[in-house]
Amino acid sequence: MATIKKLLSCHVGGVLILVAVMLPLLLMIVAAGVDIGRLYAVRGKAMTAADAALLGAVGTRSTQPVDVEMAALFNANYPANYLGSTVDGIAVSQPADGMYDATVTVTVPMLVMGIFGVATSTLTIDSQADAGYQITPGQSLELSLVFDNSAVMGGINIVAMQAAASAMTGIVFGSSASLSNVHVSLVPYDVAVNAGSGRAGWIQSAWAPSYTQFIANRNNDSPPNGLTDASDSAPVDDTTRFRVPSGNGNDLASSALAPLQFAMNSAGAINAALNAMEPAGHTRLNVGLMWGWFALSPNWQGLWDSAQPAIPAPFDPSVQKTLVLAAGSLDDVYTGDLASDDDSTALEICSAIKADGITIYTVGIGPNVNQVLLQSCASLPGYYFTASTAALLQTAFQTIADRINGATLRLQ
C-alpha cells in the first residue's frame, strides 16, 4: 500500500514531460535573442553609414551625382559582409528642392533561426537630409563677391568668371528666384571701386573736389597719411573716410568699372550685375578686399541702402558671412614701396576680416596671380583654388557654393 502511495505522489515524470514540451520553445527564444542582437548591430552600423554617406553626398552635390557619391561613401563606411550581411541596394530620391531621401536595403543571415526555417532577414534603412537657404529660413547668408575687373581679366577670363559665378548663384538659390534670407553683394574692383551715387559724405575733405563715384582706400599711399586700411570703421570723419584715385599713372580707376551692387536677393539681379562687368585698368587687391569687407561689416549697417537698414546684420551663429575673392592679376600699383605695399596691406586686411569671423575663399584665375598671397588670405588651405581653365573655374565656384550651403546641411 505504501509503495502505491509513493508512485502516485512522484512528480519526476511530469517534470520531464514539461521539459520535453518547453525545450523547443526555449531554444527558439534563445535563437531569436541571438539573431535579434545581430539585426540590431547591423541596423546600427548601416544607419550610421547611411546618414554619413547622405550628408557627404548632399554636401558635394554640385560636383558629384548624389546617388553615385552616396553609394561610394556608404560602401567606404560600411564594412563588407559585416556580420555576414550583404547590401542589396542603395537608392536616392529628391522629393523637393534641397531635400534628399536615401534607402539602403541590407540582408542579414539568421544563424540560429535558420534551424527553424528563417534563413535571412531584410532590413530597410531610411535616411533623410536637406540643404539650402530656401528651406532653412532661420539661417541667413551674406555673401560678398570681390571680383577682379582689371585689364588682364579681358576676353575669355571675364566670360568664364561670369559663367562660373552665375552657376554658383544658381546653386545658392536653388529653384528660388529670390530669397529673403540671402543677400549677395558684387564688388568689381581695379585700383578702386565704383561705389555708386550718393557717397560724397564718405570722402576725405581734401579729396572731395575730385570725387565722382570712384573710391580707393583711406591711406594716402605715397607718402602715407598714417590712416589704416585694415579697419572696417564707418566713414564718419576724415580719420575714417576715404580718398579717390589719384589720377596719376597706374593709380587711375577705369571709367568702365561697373558699380558695386549691395545685398541683392534676386538671382536675376545678381546675374545682370555679373554680366555688366567690363575689365580694364590696373589692380589693387587690397582695395577690392576693403570694400568687400564693408559690404559684410555690421559697422556699415544702414549706410549702404536705406531700404535695407538692417543689412549688414550683426554677427550671429545664424548668419553666415562669406567673402569670395577672385583675382586674375598681381597688384601692380604700389608693390614693394617702403611707403606703401599693396600686397602687405591686402594680407593685413585679410587677417582683420578673418578675425571678425568672416569666411574667405580665394580663387586665382590663370597664371598671373600671387598664389602665396591668395593662399594666405583664404580662411583654410582648402579654401584657395587655382583655375587655369574655364572648367576648373566652374568647379571651383561650384565647390564654394556647396560649402556655403553646407552651413544649412542637416539630417531630418
pLDDT for 209: 92
CA distance 172 to 174: 6
Going by pLDDT thresholds of 50, 70 and 90, the confidence category of residue 412 is: confident
Which three three-digit cell numbers place residue 113?
533561426
DSSP 242: B
3-state secondary structure of 284: coil
Q: Amino acid letter at 264?
A: M
Give the model's pLDDT for residue 30: 56
Q: Which residues pair with 148 in a beta bridge?
A: 189
Placement of cell 545682370 in the chain: 272
| pLDDT tens by residue, 89-104 | 999 999 998 899 999 9
Task: With H, G, I as helix, E, B as strand and everything else as coil, classify residue 385.
Answer: strand
Residue 308 has pLDDT above 90, yes or no: yes
- Cα separation, 221 vs 242, in Å, equals 12
Of 57-71, 210-224, 285-299, 346-360, the least confident: 210-224
Instruction: With beta carbons less than 8 A apart as the criterion, state whether 133 and 45 touch.
Output: no
H/E element, 132: none
3-class SS at 142? strand
Residue 252: band (very low, low, confident or very high) from pLDDT cuts 50, 70, 90: confident
Q: Give just the sign of the alpha carbon dihedral 36, 42, 48, 50.
A: negative
Query: For 396, which DSSP code?
Result: H
* Cα 170 from Cα 398, distance rounded (Å): 10
Instruction: Provide the whole-model pTM.
Output: 0.87
Residues 72 and 69: their CA atoms lie apart, in Å, by: 5
Query: Lowest-confidence range among 27-36, 39-48, 182-191, 344-353?
Result: 27-36
**Mean pLDDT over the full length of the chain:** 89
Strand-pairing partners, residue 106, are 87, 123
Confidence (pLDDT) at 8 = 47
Write the DSSP string, 287-325. HHHHHHHHTT-GGGTTTS-TT-TT-SPPP-TTEEEEEEE
**The pLDDT value given to residue 221:** 78
Q: What phi and psi, each to the nearest 5 degrees, are found at residue 197?
A: -80, 160
Backbone φ/ψ region at 263: left (φ over 0), alpha (ψ -120 to 50), beta = left
For residue 378, pLDDT beyond 50: yes
For the stretch 5-28, pLDDT in tens is: 554 455 555 556 655 555 555 555
Q: Look at residue 211 and tell me whether its pLDDT is greater than 90.
A: yes
**CA 253, CA 191: separation in Å to the nearest integer?**
6
